[in-house]
Structure 1
Amino acid sequence: MEEKYNLRTNDNNYNKDDKLKRKELAEKYVKFITSLDSHHVIALDSPWGTGKSTFINYMCEKLKVNNSVFVSYNAWENDYTKEPLISLMNDIFHQFKDKKYIGIDKMKSSMNKISFIAKKGGSAILKGGSKLFLGEKGTNDIEDALKEAAKLFIKDVSDDIFKDVEESKKSRQQFKEELKKYTKKILEEKNKDKLIILIDELDRCKPSFAIELLENIKHLFDIENIIFFIAVDNKQLAESIKSIYGNGFDANTYLHRFFDIELHLPKNNMNKYFIIQLDKKVYQDTYNKIKDINEFTADTIKAFNLSIRDIDRICNEIFLLSKLFHMEEPNIYLFLLILKYKNNTFYKYIKSKNKLLGIQDIDKYFEDHKNERDFFYNYFFKYCFNKRQSTNNYTKINEITVEAFRRIEETL
């Protein structure tokens, strides 16, 4: 049987050397979570492409070794559904079954109650509203007809809505009691004191799905023995929420309602990771031609805020180019690939000039982007515009740059 906790089986970094030394941190976070003594919703807040999915997998491996009671849920793989709550409970139910936890048969009744709660909604409004639009009174006095229809509308809608709300409250409470009872039985059987639910890729979901899932977690799963650990890019999710509620909406404050603890992924060892990937991807002859590789990788990571996913993509493409072409100046190819994905506007600007730019061009373009401007000065220009270099050398580098543009555009 395939292990459910492997949320991203296509993750390039999963089950490979831990180049970023994240396994040790994953073990620390697992130890921290298992030491908590009440209900919590924890956010692992880190930008897109920084390795959250791989980190979640490391945590699942450690939880498995510890015989912890845990389930995992990939939100993005399920956001095609209209019912986030039912989708989540379906994954929980099946993982309970696959792991042979006790109390499974009676969990089916809880699933039925959840379906009832989730599907309660606008039917009462439609039923009452039809009287107004169909004009049941049939009177010629429009004003009286509207008043009479409005009375019927309000009465029917009010009766149905209050009835639905009351039923929903009752069913929701029954569900929580069922979940609490069977979670307790499972934990007692396993001699553990908490159920840990890990959720990945929430920030990639449709805003409506993400919001509804968080609301359900907040209102239905606030049970003492359950801890949620949610991997998310809060900045990206906040922007998605604004697309629904408007730019003036305080999405950050809204999100903080759901999380009582926020953890983060450090960016340590990124430089080492970049160098290892280059060494692994490109031919040794090409690798040896990369000038000042430690300085280059460190400066580009800082200047362009490169993520793990950025580095993987750039290294995969430099690998392809190195197989197809002889690279006399691999730094230029790397630099252009980084620009292509991290500052495409400037990439196109250089391409349109069909030559290397002068210092005045750089000053003007990067007036408000200090890190990127400094990178040009401190690294790129030191061998492109160094006064000690001859005009012939500059001309040669310019020709290599134009050729690199052509190869990148034709190949990638």
Structure 2
Amino acid sequence: MDIQKHYSDFSEANLRASYIEDVLDRNRHIHNFISILFNIEKGGVIAIDGEWGSGKTYFVHQVKWLLDYASGNIDSEIESVLSRTLPKLHNIKGHKYKVFYYDAWRYDKSNNPFFTLLRSLILTFGGIDFFKEEKSISDSLFSAIANIIDGVSSIRLQSLFNFGRAFCGFNAKEQLPAIEFIEQMDGQVHSFLDYACEGQYDKLIIFIDELDRCKPSFAIELLEIIKHYFNHDKVVFVLSTNLSEFQYCVKQYYGESFNGWKYLDRIIDLRITLPQISLEAYHKYLWKKTGLDKIDNISIACADYFELNLRECERYNQHINIAFGRYIREKSINNEISDELDSLYAIFIPILLALKLYSVDKFKEFISGRDYEVIKGLLSVDRFRKNVSFFILSANEDLAENREALLVKKLEYCYNQLFILTLMYYIRKIK
């Protein structure tokens, strides 16, 4: 099991399955977005705006996968989804788009985004062949391109300028006015983009992801490079970021008095707000493989109650699977574990794991025996109450008229035994 905090499965098999089943109820939004791309006549910059943990990265991977898939042979299962999801994308085969995904945060350690973006594009589209064939480009340019592909560490502004000189065919001794440098640099990048888009392709779609996680200098310089050097009629940049938060990144770079929102408005041509995924659908998707229905429902109730976002839910689900997988393995080895302990584990482990993600302070209060109010709050959630009853009430108690009162009383008793009396016992023992 992968325990990375921000791990998501972007494999082709998973993207295909989630699209066919529409487990996240996102297909209509995917189709809407692709329809927008089809109607863009020239290049530009689109922003997909969404809160942290709202599923932006998964969304752009699904869009990329579908556009890539459309370039090949679409099978009957995909054809069926295309035809029944509105808007229908029956004409998707008629659009040939090259699609490129750039994880900005992955390259954040670099001092210059120009190198990392161009190098990634060259590696993806085989642009080194283009530069080999260009007779007008000097050997120094080819050497510079080769250095980019090999990877460059500790990039500084001077190295960019030196690279730019070679990129434009000037040797190290020639004097190059700044304005001519910019014009020549722009022309060479433009020629490369012509090469990348040539032939059967209508557009090159470049997804720039995780901008709001980058250091301000890298993120802002990347935006300005996109606008100044990669502005091309056949290139559409798609930024997935939280614009409300990203404006503060702009302020950090240019100063608190700078209007970050207006700055972004000058860079971005079209803003699209990504609708929230149905949490109910996402919970079913995450917990469908565990096979522990009652525990799953208690966990889902906790995720709802503590308002965990999509990314937190993913981590929470991983923690639940690890905790119960380990418990089940230990139980198979140690036959002394009782049914009563099973019940307490099933009820309190989901609460503790959710609390840890929600608030460390609340978690500490709870385990110190000072926050039974959390239990009272969870009991107001129908799904929690019904499934906890299975573990804590006997068959007779479950049918009793005072069933609700018994449930509250027994849960309070369990909480006191676990988190108050046990704590007091250990304090006395230490003393």
TM-score bracket relative to the smaller structure: 0.5 to 0.7
Q: Distance in 2 between matches of 1:313 and 1:242?
A: 31
Asked if structure 1 preserves the Cα contact closer than 8 Å seen for 2:105 and 2:210, the reply is yes
Q: TM-score, normalised by structure 2?
A: 0.64
- In structure 2, relative to structure 1, the CA distance for the partners of 1:329 and 1:13 (3 Å cut) is farther
Give the aligned partner of residue 54 of structure 1: 58
Q: Distance in 1 between matches of 2:255 and 2:157?
A: 27
Give the aligned partner of residue 6 of structure 1: none
The one-letter amino acid paired with 1:35 is N
195-204 or 171-180: bigger deviation: 171-180
Matches within 5 A, 1:236-385: 236-281=245-290, 283-284=292-293, 286-287=295-296, 290=297, 296=301, 300-301=303-304, 304-325=306-327, 326-328=342-344, 330=346, 332-354=348-370, 356-357=372-373, 378-379=380-381
Give the aligned partner of residue 81 of structure 2: none
Give the aligned partner of residue 9 of structure 2: 12
The one-letter amino acid paired with 2:42 is S
Q: Distance in 1 between matches of 2:32 and 2:48?
A: 13
Give the aligned partner of residue 80 of structure 1: 109
Cα deviation, 1:13-67, whole Å, max 9, x if unaligned, reads 6442322133553343223213201221011112232322222222222222234
Asked if structure 2 preserves the Cα contact closer than 8 Å seen for 1:194 and 1:227, the reply is yes
How many equivalent residue pairs?
333
Give the aligned partner of residue 183 of structure 1: 193
Q: Distance in 1 between matches of 2:283 and 2:374?
A: 29
Cα deviation, 1:288-336, whole Å, max 9, x if unaligned, reads xx46x87x36xx44x5442222111111112222234424474543333
Q: Distance in 2 between matches of 1:346 and 1:354?
A: 10
TM-superposed CA distance for 1:97, in Å, is 0.4
| Long gaps (5+) in structure 1 | 1-8, 124-162, 363-374, 407-412
The one-letter amino acid paired with 1:307 is N
The one-letter amino acid paired with 1:91 is S
Q: Distance in 2 between matches of 1:346 and 1:209?
A: 36
- In structure 2, relative to structure 1, the CA distance for the partners of 1:276 and 1:266 (3 Å cut) is same
- In structure 2, relative to structure 1, the CA distance for the partners of 1:108 and 1:347 (3 Å cut) is farther
- In structure 2, relative to structure 1, the CA distance for the partners of 1:282 and 1:341 (3 Å cut) is farther
TM-superposed CA distance for 1:210, in Å, is 0.5
Q: Distance in 1 between matches of 2:407 and 2:203?
A: 69
Asked if structure 1 preserves the Cα contact closer than 8 Å seen for 2:189 and 2:229, the reply is no
TM-superposed CA distance for 1:84, in Å, is 0.6
- Give the secondary structure class of the aligned counterpart of 1:273: helix
Asked if structure 2 preserves the Cα contact closer than 8 Å seen for 1:38 and 1:224, the reply is yes
Cα deviation, 1:167-216, whole Å, max 9, x if unaligned, reads 232222223333334434553422x3322211121222111111111111
Q: TM-score, normalised by structure 1?
A: 0.66
Q: Distance in 2 between matches of 1:221 and 1:391?
A: 63
2:25 corresponds to which of 14, 21, 27 = 21
Q: Distance in 1 between matches of 2:268 and 2:124?
A: 25
The one-letter amino acid paired with 1:309 is R
Identical residues among aligned pairs (%): 22
- In structure 2, relative to structure 1, the CA distance for the partners of 1:380 and 1:43 (3 Å cut) is same
Question: Are residues 1:214 and 2:243 paired?
Answer: no
Q: Distance in 2 between matches of 1:29 and 1:381?
A: 35
Give the aligned partner of residue 391 of structure 2: none
Q: Distance in 2 between matches of 1:81 and 1:256?
A: 26
Q: Distance in 1 between matches of 2:352 and 2:224?
A: 44
Question: Are residues 1:402 and 2:419 paired?
Answer: yes
- Give the secondary structure class of the aligned counterpart of 1:189: coil
Q: Distance in 2 between matches of 1:358 and 1:26?
A: 38
Give the aligned partner of residue 123 of structure 2: 94
- Give the secondary structure class of the aligned counterpart of 1:389: helix
